[in-house]
Amino acid sequence: MHVAGTSSNRNQRKLWHFHGGLHLPDHKSMSMQRPPVEAAHDDLLVIPLQQHIGEPPEVLVKPGDKVLKGQMLARANAYVSAPVHASSSGTVVAIDEQPVPHPSGLSATCITIETDGQDKWDDCLPAPIRDYKNCTASELLERIHWAGIVGLGGATFPSRVKLNPGANKPIDTLVVNAAECEPYITCDDALIQSHAQEILQGIDIVMHILSAKLCLIGIEDNKQDAIAAIQQALSEHESDNIELVVIPTIYPSGGEKQLIKILTGKEIPGNSLPADIGIVCHNVATLFAVNNAVSKGHPLISRMVTITGEGISKPQNMIVPNGTLISSLIEQAGGYNNNVNELIMGGPMMGYALSSDTLPVSKGTNCILVTQKDNAVQNIPTPCIRCGKCAEVCPALLLPQQLYWYARARDLDKVQDFNLFDCIECGCCAHVCPSHIPLVQYYRFAKTEIWAREEEKRKSDIARQRHEFRDARLARIKAEKQAKLRKKKEVLEKKKAADVDPKKAAIEAAMKRAAEKKQKLQEEGKIPANTENLTAAQQRQIDEANKRRENSES
């Protein structure tokens, strides 16, 4: 067992720092005043099919089907995909397009379940794995995949894929992200305080899968209760390769690359993954879900969600079944205060504003934030004065102001020159901008434009290739046809020649021979007179004629 100290100054591990970042008022105590509660089950659960990055799963149920809690509703067929499960028992009433929480405000296919209130577990769930150490990595990965586990820190990337970096990328360190650097959000904090032991078990399982030698748990020093809970759990835990590292509170220390830099000093370039340098990073909630899937055989059907903000009367954390409507959670949290401003999914820095509260909670929902109107703050954008405050706080060491300049001018090549795609959209630049320019919006715009342009280019490339291929094919067919024709013609001619020869040649040869013979004889003067080969009768006639002539003459 190895505990790295009780506060940031007692870490045994050397901490690194990343450039920039912000010290933000954390507003976390608001939702930590009350203990987390189980959210009440709604009559209707709206479960979006696509709750992850990757291919959508294939629906296994149809309207009218009875489903049980934990039953798989849609199966993942692709490698980068995740199944979804029923978060309570009931009847499927619809499978159709429903509005889902998404920055675009679009609708997507959802399975709507009318719950029966019994919350009855499916009894065909896989058996709990008591001794994961005797399982192979692929068996455990299969279980994690089955459970529909995705990155619960917000990225929702299928965990099975992330835990399977391939044989050519050996992993030595598991980084556990417990930083929770965004203001207001406390769901990881609450989860650690209530389930530290399970999280450690999840860590053990994941380390077994990855054959990792070391685990570093990174947690910001503003979560003293959670730190104490992990230390307590570590002191009761048998493995000695898990190290708790308390890091200073600075946004965005919870960004994957930033956290890895703080803990290891290593920087991951824009186009590579942590696995390239032997590191895999997972959020605490993901590890909790892994333990549930392996040790209990439960799929991912609920998660801790923070419902908070000045616009909520009783901010708190709730364990929320997947598909519960936000409006219902807010009702359970005492409803709205007066003068609400925005409804945000996620934190104030990176979350996105929702236009309505009748949207379901999904796997990636860590926080529902309701802000209050603040008339003191005016955010009317004015021209950039190039003060460079944005570059001072940028954790990716970019020049946000130059990016803004070129994004605004739609100079998509220059904006990539200035490394637009290294931007993690943390929002630090826009937060400090004295001109209140919505910088991140410009970067998103430029990224989308570039993606669209590349997509267009890809499509036109394909079209051009197809066109060229078609031309080539037509030319080839034509050439082949011509070649064939020519050959045929040749063959025909030859054949024609061959067909005519025997008879004609024989005749011609015979005629030739006769002519030659005639010629020869003529030359020799041996051409017989017509009278030479006379028959006897003819001769007699001739003789008689000659006699008559002689008689008449005499």
Taking residues 468 to 507 in sequence order and writing x for each that binds another protein by CB under 8 A, - otherwise, the string is: ----------------------------------------
Q: Does 310 bind another protein (CB under 8 A)?
A: no
| Length of the chain counted residue by residue | 554
Bond before 252 cis per omega within 30 degrees: yes
44 versus 432: smaller Cβ distance to another protein? 432
Span near another protein by CB under 8 A; candidates 45-53, 145-153, 191-199, 425-433: 425-433
321 or 346: whose CB is closer to another protein? Answer: 346
Residue 382 interacts with another protein (CB under 8 A)? yes
First-to-final CA distance of the chain: 167
By CB atoms closer than 10 A (0-12, 13-18, 19+), residue 463 is: exposed
Question: Closest approach of Cβ 419 to another protein, in Å?
Answer: 5
- Measure the CA–CA gap between 397 and 391, rounded to whole angstroms: 7
Instruction: Annotate 486-525 with b (16+ C-beta within 10 A) or e (fewer).
Output: eeeeeeeeeeeeeeeeeeeeeeeeeeeeeeeeeeeeeeee
> Environment class of residue 367 by beta-carbon count within 10 Å: exposed (0-12), middle (13-18) or buried (19+)?
buried
- Is 384 a residue that touches another protein (CB under 8 A)? yes
How far is the C-alpha of 414 from the C-alpha of 399, rounded, in Å? 12
What distance in Å separates the CA atoms of residue 48 and residue 360, rounded to the nearest whole number?
Answer: 8
Q: Please, what is the minimum distance in Å from the beta carbon of residue 320 to another protein?
A: 18
Of 295, 327, 372, 416, the residue at the interface with another protein (CB under 8 A) is 327
Using CB under 8 A, count the residues that bind another protein. Answer: 69
Among candidates 306, 84, 275, 106, which has minimal Cα distance to 191? 306
Of 272, 465, 538, 546, the one binding another protein (CB under 8 A) is 272
The three-state secondary structure class of 122 is: coil
Q: In whole angstroms, how close is the CB of 387 to another protein at the nearest point?
A: 4
Give 222 or 419: the residue with its C-beta nearer to another protein: 419
Q: Which of 113, 425, 446, 447 binds another protein (CB under 8 A)?
A: 425
383 binds another protein (CB under 8 A): yes
Minimum CB distance to another protein, residue 371 (Å): 6
Shortest separation between residue 46's beta carbon and another protein, angstroms = 17
Query: Which residues, 7 to 66, sit near another protein by CB under 8 A?
Result: 18-19, 24
Cβ at position 97, least distance to another protein in Å: 19
Separation between Cα atoms, residue 140 and residue 209, nearest integer Å: 7
Least gap, CB of 396 to another protein (angstroms): 4
With respect to another protein, which residue has the nearer C-beta, 103 or 117?
103
Which of 28, 145, 223, 257 lies at the binding interface for another protein (CB under 8 A)?
257
By CB under 8 A, tell whether 372 contacts another protein: no
Could you tell me which residues come within 8 angstroms of residue 335 by beta carbon, excluding any fewer than 6 positions away? 312, 313
Q: Of 397, 472, 507, 509, which lies in the binding site for another protein, with binding defined by CB under 8 A?
A: 397
What is the signed CA dihedral for 283, 284, 290, 292, rounded to 10 degrees? Answer: -150
Choose between 140 and 330: whose C-beta lies nearer to another protein. 330
Residue 19 CB, shortest distance to another protein, in Å, is 6
Phi and psi torsions of 551, nearest 5°: -60, -45
Binding status of residue 409 toward another protein by CB under 8 A: no
402 binds another protein per the rule CB under 8 A: yes
Identity of the residue numbered 59: V
CB nearer to another protein: pick between 122 and 422: 422
Give the nearer residue to another protein in terms of CB position, either 25 or 64.
Answer: 25
Question: Binding pattern to another protein, positions 337-356, x when CB under 8 A?
Answer: ---xxxxx-x-xxxxxxxxx
Name which of 146 and 442 has its Cβ closer to another protein: 442
372 residue type, one letter: Q
Are 112 and 60 contacting, i.e. CB atoms less than 8 angstroms apart? no
Element housing 45 (H / E): strand 44-48
Q: Which of residues 427-446 bind another protein (CB under 8 A)?
A: 427, 430-436, 438, 440-441, 444
Q: Is 267 in the site for another protein (CB under 8 A)?
A: yes
DSSP strand pairing (107-115 vs 340-345): unpaired
* Positions 113 through 132 that interact with another protein (CB under 8 A): none
Q: Binding of another protein at residue 102 (CB under 8 A)?
A: no
Cβ atoms of 57 and 84 within 8 Å: the answer is yes
Q: Which is nearer to another protein, 385 or 515 (CB)?
A: 385
Distance CA 50, CA 56 (A): 5
Q: Applying CB under 8 A, does 411 fall inside the site for another protein?
A: no
**C-alpha–C-alpha distance, residues 338 and 287, integer Å:** 38
313 binds another protein (CB under 8 A): no
Closest distance to another protein from the beta carbon of 248 (Å): 17
Crossing angle of helices 439-524/400-408, nearest 10°?
60
Residue carrying structure tokens 């045994």: 12
* CA angle 167–168–169, rounded 5-degree value: 90
Q: How far apart are CA 448 and CA 440, in angstroms?
A: 12
Interface residue list for another protein (CB under 8 A): 18-19, 24, 105, 183, 257, 261, 267-270, 272, 327, 336, 340-344, 346, 348-357, 369, 371, 376-377, 379-380, 382-389, 391-392, 395-399, 401-402, 418-419, 422, 425, 427, 430-436, 438, 440-441, 444
